Structure 1
């Protein structure tokens, strides 16, 4: 599983496929205000991008997916540690 909740943060790890979009949305809705740590993410499907754009969680770290780090991070807004 590439999307997991460890108690204080949602972590995106490895390749994050379309099948994880529903999991990400459910976790973000169940835990309002929780941050997403995405530096371990090596590939981010556009379905997860849509979830992040819609729910706007605080992002932590720099995404390990070069495209997402370069082009999507600015769209997703400022994070405390970027």
Structure 2
């Protein structure tokens, strides 16, 4: 699974697909002070982006991927 849920941290790895949107939304709703680690993420489905935007949680570890860093992180930072 491209998103691993560990305690209070969700680690995004590789290409994260639409199938992870509902588990991510449920996890974010259940975990206080969730930590989001996008460091190893190489692709983020728009459904996941919508979940992250709605949740309004800060990104603890930004992605290394150039596209995500340059185009997605500025959007996530403007919540």
Fold in common (TM above 0.5):
yes
Q: TM-score, normalised by structure 1?
A: 0.83
In structure 2, list runs of 5 or more residues that go unmatched.
none
Match of 2:13?
Answer: 13
- Corresponding residue SS for 2:39: strand
- Structure 1 residue runs of 5 or longer lacking an equivalent are none
Q: CA RMSD for the aligned pairs?
A: 1.5
Query: Aligned partners of 2:65, 2:16: CA distance in 1, in Å?
Result: 10
Q: Aligned residue for 2:54?
A: 54
Residue 40 of structure 2 corresponds to: 40
Aligned to 1:2: 2
Answer with 27-36 or 56-65: which moved more. 56-65
Residues 43, 64 of structure 1: 8 Å contact kept? no
The Cα shift of 1:40 comes to 0.9
* Superposition TM-score, scaled by structure 2 size: 0.86
* Bigger fraction of residues in helix: 2
Aligned residues: 78
Using the TM superposition, give the Cα deviation of residue 67 of structure 1 relative to its aligned residue in structure 2, in angstroms: 2.0
Return the alpha-carbon distance in structure 2 between the equivalents of residues 43 and 52 of structure 1: 14
Structure 2 CA distance, aligned partners of 1:65 and 1:20? 19
